[in-house]
Structure 1
Amino acid sequence: MHIELRGISKHFGEVAANADVNLEIKAGEVLALLGENGAGKSTLMKILYGFYQGDSGEIVIDGTTVEIDTPRTAMALGIGMVFQQFNLIPALSVAENLMLAYPKSPWWQSRHRPVWSTVLENLTKLARDIDPSKLVRHLAIGEQQLVELAKVLNLNAQLVILDEPTAVLTPQESERLWALVRQLADSGRSVVLITHKFEDVEACADRVAIMRAGRLVEVADARGKTIDEMVTLMMGQHQVAANPSVKSPQKDIQKLWIKSISAKDRRAAIVDIELQLAPGEILGIAGVAGNGQRLLADAVAGLAVLDNGEVILDGEVVSRLGRQPVNPNRNSKIGYIPEQPLENGVASDLDLTTNLSLHRLVGMPFFPKKQTEQAQAQKLIDEFNVRPSDPTKLAQDLSGGNLQKLVSARELSGMPSLVVACYPSMGLDILSTRAIYEQMFKHAERGACILWISEDLDDLLQYAHRIAVLSHGKITGILPAASADRQTIGLLMTGARKTA
């Protein structure tokens, strides 16, 4: 399949998401679509997928101009897309979600073993450890990503569009995905990777298309561009932030004590977690997706009921056995960036001003002046580069990366004693990632402690003071980041090795 996008433009109000974009997607190639958050990458691909309609321009497939008015039309033409925000039904099993999206699958075939085997084939290649009978709501975010990809592969799409496909995958899962992407291209299919990760480009891309401020600024061979050149094209005249610095924590002082906590929910369980953090300490939590990271974060933030133990911050109990979860907005001492901001970090049908004001609004005897709140919201929006930058916009109008920045702006804008950050850089470009890290580390410098859950081992090794590895809900090892290595952490992540 050979696709040409000609003169594509798309406006949202006065914002030009795409401006006269001309892009060619060749058969049998992997095209990496790069750009900072808000550059227009996802919008362009959503137009190709029929999710949006362009204001002007045309789409040409194999020499014929086509009108793609819905995703159904796109799928009929052989175009499939995996979004950052997943389209799975949480109350159904993995297999049932795959069956619903499987072509030519009447209800009477749904229990036939040959059909099940075919439906599950791509999932088995991607993630052999995912139980097809497990409910989607019990899956970790990385596992849901793989199920979504399996859905698209089942459609036998000739063009597969992947929006930030490795953002929440482990190194092993990413390598498996890269191999599969190359297999798809080698078989004649086309793949578009919307990504911020240069590892994706180096691992499997043939060409790169770089967007900035809604425009396509360059298309080049992937091997012909250095990382520095691509960053410059992505950011334009922006000064790319230097790597933030991390100071040593204050030793022999206990600020946060996670005291032998155990908890469980429908997704996972954590067992006898014992951790102590000093003022200014950054403790990274590494682990394969679905091993209790989300539950650990909720427990520490006071959102989960504990079956055992307690969490003590600055000598005060945040959570203990039998205590009902508390609203994090009532505890200004904790800044919490959740794993899925759209699901549990924002009120999607409220505007950006209200979402950024949630901490201040709780407990107020009167509603603050609208102009004052908007001015404070605008300051945070500009500081964290949230796009669109209009504080009256609804949160649901933001892309995944901008939602991440919105929640981070709110949770890092106060003076928390503890920051619990779950995948804070997920879906963010280099500039935004370094800006978020800089804000996190500033809190550490003034004495707050940081519990940082991430699957980016390179960042944990570079910035954390210590790394605790979580496997099957248990801590299998705690290592000084300065002397740790990926191989040792990988063994601890699988549970194949434990440290004292």
Structure 2
Amino acid sequence: MSALVTLSAIRKQFGSVIANDDVSLEIHAGEVLALLGENGAGKSTLMKILYGFYRPDAGTIAIDGSPVTFHSPRDAMRIGIGMVFQRFSLVPALTVLENLLAALPDAPWFQFRSSARVAAATRWLKRLAPDIDPRRPVRTLGIGERQLVELAKVLNLDARIVVLDEPTSVLTPSETDRLYGFIRTLASEGKAVVLITHKLADVAACADRIAVMRSGKVVDRAAARGRSPQALAEAMVGSGSVGSLEPPRLPESTLPVLQVCALSAHVESRTIKNVSFELAAGEILGIAGVSGNGQFALAEALAGLIPISSGDILVSGISIASRRSDGSVARDVAYIPERPIDNAVVASLDLSTNLLLRGARDLPFFPRHGEIERQALKLIASYDVRPPRPTAVASALSGGNLQKLVIARELSRNPRVVIACYPTMGLDVLAAHSVYRELFRHAAEGACVVWISEELDDLMSYAHRIAVIYDGEIAGIVRHEQADRLVLGEWMAGHTAEAA
């Protein structure tokens, strides 16, 4: 079968970092190609070259056998290439419909909302996410909902080649299953789909072929069928590198470190109501739920970033709401947010400076820059942030490496409370295991962890208790050994239960 896309000897270098090193790859119509690799392997860079976002330093691109040169994504879109990035390009102040209308081909500066244009703009949204109201402002959507709107925006372009960069990293199980169905539908219609991913479940669900990248090179090509998860993981990170995770021990102490008492908060459409729970030193509480049900508001309230309308949060008996002006309680709380590029780093600052942000008040008036850089290098190496250059700006990092940067900063402070909101989002299997080990180590050393995730299997494997949040309220809490997937699914759908 002739290739729809042929990438030949592609090379791309950023400073001293070689992102793509003589990469050749074929993409066929009517297939789903899973492009696998750990964070920083060069997957996204290669596809951004295909999309016209970057110009290759060397190599060629051919579409239907004819060489092409792209000066911008607009050139790529004209011949039917669409890409959904990890970092969203939606305008938060506009509604979902306004974002979709603006992305239609030849969109005028003034949006005429004729019934035909509205139908054209919302046709894929109705299939992907029928529960999302097109009149809602994008800023009120959860991260999973924003991902689906981004997908709808690209699918509206009728692209022949669709590139999806980690599309399932922020979706719930039901949203993910729906997306898998649409990916297979796109392939059956003759489109070429490239699925950039590190999740082996994505490969098993819908991939026809795999290409594995490591250190900027393609190191493996094969049919997806018949490859075991262990073999794929080893191809991504090297034989014997993944290892196993041990679930943390249940803490012996029942003395609460974190007390959440009838907590309510509301910011725009983000609401939590009457949330209560306690965590002892060393305890991990997993928070499950469908995206947009209050997880983000709960995390920000616990981190002290949004005002509390009623109730209280106590850390070691001290109220966060009335904490002292020196911020002593805040120092005890680490926060790993769901969108680090928006609310955890300053994108234009270098890695060293971003690693200092939480401890800036403790620095001497004339800090020693050599010592700052040494500390930054130590953290960057410990958490495998790539590229490992303290002088690199945060905006140059991939989504997964940006997440690792924030985790390095927050956990290096030895907090008593860790608020981890989708901490492994966008991370490959090796990096995810590394993050889990750090969370478990901090729990073993006495920190309590509120772990918000939509990876239900991981929560059931490693959390001491699991709480389900629905419509801003706790639908039920269950101990690890009593957790049942069907029951948790019912709670996620709104069927409440007595807290266990």
Q: Same fold per TM (> 0.5)?
A: yes
- The one-letter amino acid paired with 1:240 is V
**Offset at residue 244 of structure 1 (A):** 3.5
Say whether 1:386 aligns with 2:388.
Answer: no
Q: Secondary structure at the match of 1:85?
A: coil
Letter paired with 1:290: G
* Residues 29 and 185, structure 1, Cα contact 8 Å, conserved in 2: yes
Report sequence identity in percent.
52
Aligned to 2:156: 154
The C-alpha deviation readout for 1:328-356, integer Å capped at 9, x for no partner, is 89822011101100001111111111111
* Cα drift, residue 377 of structure 1: 0.7
Tell me the distance in 2 between the aligned counterparts of 1:171 and 1:19: 35
Q: Which amino acid aligns with 1:475?
A: I
Distance 1:296 1:106 in 2: 40
Task: Find the counterpart in structure 2 of residue 252 from structure 1.
Answer: 254
Match of 2:368 in 1: 369
Q: Which residue of 1 aligns with 2:355?
A: 356
- What secondary structure is seen at the aligned counterpart in 1 of 2:320? strand
Alignment-derived partner of residue 166 in structure 2: 164
Aligned to 2:215: 213
Partner AA of 2:15 in structure 1: G
Amino acid at match of 1:445: A
- Describe the shift of the 1:304–1:188 C-alpha distance in structure 2 as closer, same or farther (beyond 3 A): same
**Secondary structure at the counterpart of residue 499 of structure 1:** coil
1:298 to 294, 297, 300: 300
Alignment of 1:73-472 (within 5 A): 73-106=75-108, 110-236=112-238, 239-319=241-321, 331-472=330-471
Q: Distance in 2 between matches of 1:167 and 1:74?
A: 25
1:263-304 residue CA offsets vs partner (Å, 9 max, x unmatched): 001131100000111111000000111111111011111111
CA distance in 1, matches of 2:50, 2:151: 18
Q: 1:51 aligns with which of 45, 50, 53?
A: 53
Distance in 1 of aligned mates of 2:14 and 2:484: 46
The equivalent residue for 1:15 is: 17
- Check conservation: 2:200, 2:232, Cα contact below 8 A: no
**Contact map agreement 1:2 1:25 (CA 8 A) in 2:** yes
Q: Conserved in 2, the CA contact under 8 Å of 1:212 and 1:235? A: yes
Alpha carbons 1:260, 1:308 under 8 Å: kept: yes
Compute the displacement of 1:105 (Å).
4.1
Aligned length: 497
SS of the aligned residue for 2:476 comes to: strand
* SS at structure 1 position matched to 2:178: helix
**C-alpha deviation, 1:482, in angstroms:** 2.0
State the secondary structure of the residue aligned to 1:168: coil
In the superposition, relative to structure 1, how do residues 329 and 60 fare at CA in structure 2: closer, same or farther (>3 Å)?
farther
Give, in whole Å, the separation in 1 of the partners of 2:107 and 2:189. 25
Measured in 2, the distance between the counterparts of 1:225 and 1:424 equals 28
Contact 1:140 1:267 in 2 (8 A): no
* CA displacement 1:390-413 (0-9 Å, x = unmatched): 111111110000000000000011
CA contact (8 A) 1:181 1:204 kept: yes
Q: TM-score, normalised by structure 2?
A: 0.97
In the aligned structure 2, how far is the partner of 1:81 from the partner of 1:367?
Answer: 46
**Would you say the 8 A contact 1:38–1:213 is kept in 2?**
yes
Query: Cα offset for 1:483?
Result: 1.9
Show structure 2 runs of 5+ residues with no match: none
Structure 2: distance between partners of 1:128 and 1:499: 31
Letter of the 1:420 counterpart: I
Alpha-carbon RMSD across the aligned residues, in angstroms, is: 1.7
| 2:96 counterpart letter in structure 1 | V
AA at the equivalent of 1:12? F
Specify the SS of the correspondent of 1:272. Answer: strand
Higher mean C-alpha deviation, range 234-243 or range 255-264? 234-243
Alpha-carbon contact 1:241-1:435 (below 8 Å) kept = no
For each residue in 1:107-154, what CA deviation from the matched residue of structure 2 results, as whole angstroms up to 9, or x when unmatched?
A: 676221122122111001111111100001111111100000000000
Assess if the C-alpha contact under 8 Å between 1:201 and 1:222 holds in 2.
Answer: yes
Letter in 1 for 2:159: A
Amino acid at match of 2:222: A
Matched to 2:487, the amino acid is T
**In 1, are the aligned partners of 2:164 and 2:195 still within 8 Å (CA)?**
yes
Tell me if structure 1 keeps the 8 A contact 2:34–2:211: yes
Q: TM-score, normalised by structure 1?
A: 0.97
Do the aligned residues in 1 keep the contact of 2:333 with 2:418 (CA within 8 Å)?
Answer: yes
* Residue pair 2:102, 2:111 contacting (<8 A) in 1 also: no
Q: Deviations over 1:444-498 (max 9, x none)?
A: 1011100000010011000000001000000000011222122211110110343
Q: Following the alignment from structure 1 to structure 2, what is the Cα–Cα distance between the partners of residues 317 and 302?
A: 10
SS class of match (2:70): coil
C-alpha displacement at 1:251, in angstroms? 4.1
Residue type of the partner of 1:173? Answer: E
- Whole-angstrom distance in 1 between the partners of 2:496 and 2:404: 36
- Asked whether 1:26 is paired with 2:28, we answer yes
Residue 165 of structure 1 deviates from its aligned partner by: 0.3
List runs of 5+ in structure 1 lacking aligned partners: none
Partner Cα distance (1:180, 1:255) in 2: 45
